[in-house]
Chains A and B, each alone.
Chain A
Amino acid sequence: MEDVLKKNKLQTLREIFSPTSLPFSEGLLKKTRSVLEEKDLPTRKDENWKYTNLNGLKKLSFDKDMANEILENPFISEGSNRLLIKNGVVIDSTKTIEGVRTNWSDKTLPEVVGSGVMDALNVLHCTAAIEIEFSSGGKTKELELVFENSINTQSFPRLFIRCKKGCKGTVILNYQGTTENASFSNVSSFIDVEENANLTIHKIQKNGVNAFDLQREYVNQSANSTFTINTFCLSGKMTRNDLYIKVKGNNCETYMNGAYTLKGKSHCDNHTTVDHEVAHCYSKELYKGVVDGFATNVFNGKVFVRKDAQKINAFQSNANILLSETGTVNSKPELEIYADDVKCSHGSTTGQLDDEAVFYLRSRGLSEKAAKELLVKAFLGEVLEEIDHEEVRSYVEGQIELHFTA
């Protein structure tokens, strides 16, 4: 009894997680354990978690058995470079895709770490580690990782993505869950975009309606590089993305696009940070979404322009449409500028569908539902236009349609 009282929420939560069996260095494990000894789960008192409450995690319970529902074909791309991570674990780690490591029997994991409690949990309970490298002469240009959860389980992948000097690469991170799935995904990704490299990540979060999906991406950009990340939050009980991009070299371009379709009681939170450490860079962020039912969307976009980082062009925009009277949007754009010769803008809007437009469409024979669907598609179309990957775009378009029929 005394033990129970002494335990904090985090310690109680950890009892259902299995310890990692991956080869981390002893030093890293020790350091990480000490982080967790002092800390508890973030609460609403933490500025970064003001609108996202993790109390729901305590209701998690995991399955022991295998699932009877399976996803027919969770892959989006037609390419041959596809990797399946099922219920947290890499399936067939002996399969070789050039530039991809999933088997760590002969090597310890990279020492790189993120910050915070969730990242520490990812280390100590890591279920899969995948290293991806796009290098010159490498045949792999595009890769799709499917993270499929068909039982209620813990899925704690750790991803290391490196796009080498002058190379180009595309990664599709496709998180899929069975309809009612209640898993806990906790993902840490470490991404390096080297000089003159061009990396694009398409991230799809189509989790089961009871699933928690907390993710962090730590991105470093070197000079003359281009980095694009397109994030689609389509379903799940709680989706939280923390995207940190450090632009460390001159003449970089950074693109962040996001679209979300929320309904029921789902909660979606995108925290993004772009840190312009040096001059002559461009960044553009566009997140748009629709919120129906009792759903909540949180957006927090931070742009830093450090001292002497002159001639920065940084643009940020977040737009929301509330489809119900019970939905909630908390949007907070932030700019912190310490240089004096920059061009930056940010904007945030939250509104409803234009009643006049709905009436106009209905007067031509469209049902109210079809009219609203058409307007929502048009609203999100601005984000989809930015997606140059045909299969990803048509998948997301299809999901938007399904969102209205299901």
Chain B
Amino acid sequence: MIEIKNLHANIEGKEILKGLTLNVNAGEVHAIMGPNGAGKSTLANILAGREEYEITAGDITFDGVDLLALSTEERAREGLFLAFQYPVEIPGVSNVNFLRTALNEIREAKGEDPITAKEFMALVREKSKIVELDSKLASRSVNEGFSGGEKKRNEIFQMAMLNPKLAVLDETDSGLDIDALRIVAKGVNSLKSPENASIVITHYQRLLDHIVPDFVHVLYDGKIVKTGGKELALELEEKGYDWIKEEMQVS
């Protein structure tokens, strides 16, 4: 689904990614863990097309397309979705109005007809249930006055509405209590299918109790330094990242 090869990226002259390589196939869930400053969010932002980053080497192929050549909106229309670590509050823009515009722009790019009002409302009802999001929240301004948990649930709601091929969840567990974490994880799990894939970026193992990954990668100093199964996450939780740093220094 997505192939990231030897990716090097800078922001304001500082090199953050230093040769990151990652392959994700359809149907898989990949977790990316790592200490602060390793480049986890940078990876998420680059995938989504944030322009502040300069790609100095490497390439990304998404479903056969050169991802780096696409604008942010083109990536979204190709089926890439980023759940933000800090979802933005947009006063005056209603959640449903914005999602309908988004959905129709994606459909238009695919050469499909716009969704009817009736179909759309049915979809909103169906998908808001997945994340137990009050339908009132769906019609309020985007994230305005939402609690931390509501914001993250709204991200997953949007993901459910847009039905992406690849979802990148950037620290979706940060700021969530246990109940919200469970709801968010349930939402992500229910959207899982053999045709789509997710990359779950997280600090802590606890999210991975709920969203069980097929692979766990450790990102350290701009590179994937270790890859394993879900048990790697448990090991990291127990031992921290220091042993990885030490291993790195030894080698």
Contacts and interface: CB of A to CB of B under 8 A. Distances in A.
Interface stretch (B10-18, B55-63, B70-78, B237-245): B70-78
B191 interface: no
A359 B50 CA distance: 8
A18 to B, nearest CB: 47
Contact of B105 (A370, A375, A381): A370
A362 B98 contact: no
A363 B90 contact: no
B92 A379 contact: yes
Interface string A350-394: 000010110111111111101000110111011000000000000
Nearest to B78: A365
Given A361-B98, A374-B101, A366 B88 contact: no
B49 interface: yes
A375 B77 CA distance: 20
Contact of A365 (B84, B97, B142, B162): B162
B106 interface: yes
Contact of A362 (B71, B91, B141): B71
A363 B72 contact: yes
Interface string B202-216: 000000000000000
A401 to B, nearest CB: 12
B50 A378 contact: no
Interface in B24-76: 48-50, 71-73, 75-76
Interface residues of A, number: 21
B158 interface: yes
Contacts, number: 74
Given A354-B88, A359-B72, A374-B98, A366 B105 contact: yes
A378 B76 contact: no
A94 B90 CA distance: 53
A357 B90 contact: yes
B99 A381 contact: no
Contacts of A378: 90-93, 141
B82 interface: yes
A375 B97 CA distance: 12
A382 to B, nearest CB: 7
B87 interface: yes
Nearest to A356: B88
Contact of B76 (A354, A365, A374, A382): A365
SS class, residues of chain A in contact with chain B: helix
Given A365-B76, A368-B73, A374 B93 contact: yes
Nearest to B88: A360
Given A362-B72, A366-B102, A370-B105, A381 B82 contact: no
Contacts of B141: 378
A196 to B, nearest CB: 35
Interface string B173-201: 00000000000000000000000000000
Given A360-B87, A374-B98, A374-B101, A366 B73 contact: yes
Nearest to A367: B73
A364 B98 contact: yes
10 contacts: A359-B72, A360-B88, A362-B49, A363-B72, A363-B84, A364-B98, A365-B77, A365-B103, A366-B105, A367-B105
Interface of A: 354, 356-357, 359-368, 370, 374-375, 377-379, 381-382
Given A361-B98, A365-B106, A366-B105, 19 more contacts: A356-B88, A359-B88, A360-B87, A362-B73, A363-B72, A364-B98, A364-B99, A364-B102, A365-B76, A365-B77, A365-B162, A368-B71, A368-B73, A370-B101, A370-B105, A374-B97, A375-B93, A378-B93, A378-B141
Minimum-distance CB pairs A-B, first 4: A378-B92, A365-B76, A364-B102, A360-B88
